Chain A
Amino acid sequence: MFLSGAGMTVEKINMTCDICGKKKATVHLTEIVDEQMSEMHLCEECARQKNTQMEQQFGLADLLAGLSDTSKPPASKEGEKNVLKCSRCGLLYEDFRKFGRLGCGECYTSFKEHLNGLLRKIHGSNKYMGKTPSKYQENQMAPLSEGTIAFLPSEDLLDLKKQLHSAVAAEDFEKAAVIRDKIKKIATP
C-alpha cells in the first residue's frame, strides 16, 4: 500500500455497513489472525453489537488456552456434589471458567489449585517479584498468605531467560520466540 493516494479514503466515506448493508459505515475494523488481515466496515449500531460479541469472545479466549486441560474441577468424591465455589463471595468455579473473572481476593485461595497452573500459563511464571504494600511488610501474617502458591524456577529456566534476553537484545526475534516457547514448556507441568 505504499503511498496510496487520497482516492482510497474517499471511497471509505461512501461505504455502507458490511452487516446491515443499509447505514453508512463509520467504524472500520481490522482483524489480524495468523498474519492474515481482514477489514470490516460497520455502522455505529452494528459495530456496537459486534463489539459486545468480541468482548465476550475475548474474555473467554484469554483464558481458554490455560483452562482447557489443567483446570477442570476435581472429580467428585463418594457422590459428593461436585460444586467448587469460593468460601467468601460464593463464585462458582464453573462461572469463573465461563466468564474469566474472579469475585474476590479469597477466590485465589478457594481456587488455588486451579489458579496455580493457570497463572503460570498466562505469565510464564507464578512467582511474584513486584512491590509489597507497606501494611503487608509490617505484618508478616498477611491475610491471604496461607496456602498460596510458590514456584521456584529451575536452573534451566534461569539460563533460558538469560538466552531470551540476549536474543531480544540482538534483535533475533525468531530465536527469541523459540526460546520463549521452551520456557513455556518448562514452566508448565
Chain B
Amino acid sequence: MRIEELLNHTGEWLRGTGPSAHIVMSSRVRLARNLEAWTFPGKSGKKDLEAILKTFEEAVNHISALKGSTLFQMTELDQVDRQMLVERHLMSHEHASNPEGKGLLVAAEEVVSIMINEEDHLRIQVMRSGLNLSEAWDIINAIDDALAHELTFAFSPSCGFLTACPTNTGTAMRGSVMMHLPALVMTKQINKVLAAISKLSFASRGFYGEGTQASGNFYQISNQVALGHSELDIIQNINGLIRQVIEQEEQARQALLLQNKPMLEDKVCRSFGLLKTARIISSQEAIEFFSMVRLGLDMGILKHVDHKALNELFIMIQPAHLQKIEGKKLNAFERDTKRAAVIRQKLGGKDV
C-alpha cells in the first residue's frame, strides 16, 4: 500500500457507532514490548535498529492476523507523510521527529498499528469505535500472543514486561478512551471531573495525545498504573470510571436543555451554519464548531448530518492531510482556506 491510499478513507474506528458512541468517540489499547536480544532503541545504534526492524518484519510474515498490512520505513517518508500518520493516530509525534531506524506497520482498516523502535522496540495499538476497550484488548492480546510466539520479549516473572520507561513496566498496557464532554465544560464541572480522574491515577490529555491540550471539548482518559493489576482488571477499572464520566456528561446535557434550550439550539445551529459557509478557518476554531455540531447530533437538535463524515473531518482538517489532499505544501493561511473548503464539501455546504 502506498501512503497516498490512506487518504481515500479513514480508520474504521472513526465510524461513529458502538457502545456509548454519543459520548465516547473511540477506545484504544496499547502494549509496549521489547526484544530480549537487543538493548532498548534509545541505547541502540543505527545498525541494531535496522536489524530489529528486519527481525520484526520476518516475524510479521508468519502471523496470519497481520496479513495484508503495510510496513512503512520512516526514512523513506518525507516530513509531511510522517506527520500525516501522526494525524491519523497511527503513531506518535516522537516517532515522526527522528526517523532513523524506525518503522510503522499499519494493518487493514487501521485497526492495528505497530510502531517499531519508538521508545520501546514495539508499540502495538488497537483502535475501536465507541467504548470498546474489551474488544480492543481481545484483538491486541491475540496479536501479542502471535508475536510472542515468533519473538522473545524482555520479560521478568516479577516485574512483567520490561520497558524503557518505568511508568510502563509491568503489563506495559495503556488503555485510553476519547471522550466528548461539551456539557461538562459548559456547566463548568470539567475541572472537578478531571481533578477526580487524576486523583485516581488516571491521566487526561487532549485529542492529539501526549503533551497536547484538550480542544473542542475532547479529552483522552487513560490508566497510569501497570503493576499490581492484571490487564483485564485495568480495563475494568477504566470502564468503571468512564461509565461514571458518561453519566455525569449525560446529566449535564439534560441540565443544559432545561436551563436554556433555545440558546443551546442556537449555538449548535450557528456552528453548523458557520462550518458550511466559512471561507477561512483555523483548526482550533473548526474543532470547537465540530464539537457543537456533534453535541447537536447526539442530542437530536440536528438530524441530517452524517456522524461518520463529521468524525472523518477531525482527521482531514489537520495540516499534513490538507497538504496531501492539495498535493503541495501550504502555508498557514493557505491551510485555513483549504480547510474551510474541505469542511464545506464534506458537510454539503452549497457555495452561496
Using CB atoms and an 8 Å cutoff, list the residues of chain A in contact with chain B: 1-3, 5-6, 9, 12-13, 24, 26, 28-32, 35, 37, 44, 51, 54-55, 58, 62-63, 66, 88-89, 91, 100-105, 108, 115, 118-119, 122-136, 142-145, 148-150, 168-169, 171, 173, 176-177, 180
**Chain A residues in 8 Å Cβ range of B149:** 134-135
From known contacts A28-B215, A63-B166, infer whether A130 and B199 are also in contact, taking CB-CB under 8 Å.
no
The minimal Cβ–Cβ distance linking B215 to chain A, given in whole angstroms, is: 7
How many B residues touch A, CB cutoff 8 Å? 73
Q: Is the CB of B43 within 8 A of A104?
A: yes
Interface contacts (Cβ under 8 Å), in number, total 199
Q: Is the CB of A12 within 8 A of B225?
A: no
Q: Is the CB of B228 within 8 A of A125?
A: yes
Q: Is the CB of B228 within 8 A of A144?
A: no
**Smallest CB-CB separation from B267: which chain A residue?**
A3
Whether, in the assembled complex, B285 has its beta carbon less than 8 Å from a beta carbon of chain A, the answer is yes
Q: Is the CB of B227 within 8 A of A119?
A: yes
Using CB atoms and an 8 Å cutoff, list the residues of chain B in contact with chain A: 34, 36, 38-40, 42-43, 119, 141, 144-145, 148-149, 152-167, 169-171, 173, 185-188, 191, 194-196, 199-201, 211, 213-215, 225-231, 233, 240-241, 244, 260, 263-264, 267, 270-271, 274, 280, 282-285, 288, 332
**Smallest CB-CB separation from A96: which chain B residue?**
B166
Q: Is the CB of A105 within 8 A of B154?
A: yes
Q: Is the CB of B267 within 8 A of A28?
A: no
7 contacting pairs across A/B (C-beta < 8 A): A62-B165, A89-B43, A105-B156, A123-B170, A128-B227, A135-B153, A180-B201
**Chain B residues in 8 Å Cβ range of A91:** 43
B40, B141, B214: most-surrounded residue (chain A CB, <10 A): B40
Q: Is the CB of B227 within 8 A of A133?
A: no
Q: Is the CB of A28 within 8 A of B213?
A: yes
Q: Is the CB of A32 within 8 A of B166?
A: no
The minimal Cβ–Cβ distance linking B126 to chain A, given in whole angstroms, is: 15
Q: Is the CB of B159 within 8 A of A126?
A: yes
CA distance A128 to B285 in the complex (A): 45
Q: Is the CB of A135 within 8 A of B148?
A: yes
**Smallest CB-CB separation from B196: which chain A residue?**
A173
CA distance A91 to B166 in the complex (A): 15
**Chain A residues in 8 Å Cβ range of B332:** 24, 26, 44
**Smallest CB-CB separation from B212: which chain A residue?**
A29
**Smallest CB-CB separation from B43: which chain A residue?**
A103
From known contacts A105-B162, A119-B159, A123-B170, infer whether A13 and B186 are also in contact, taking CB-CB under 8 Å.
no
CA distance A62 to B271 in the complex (A): 39
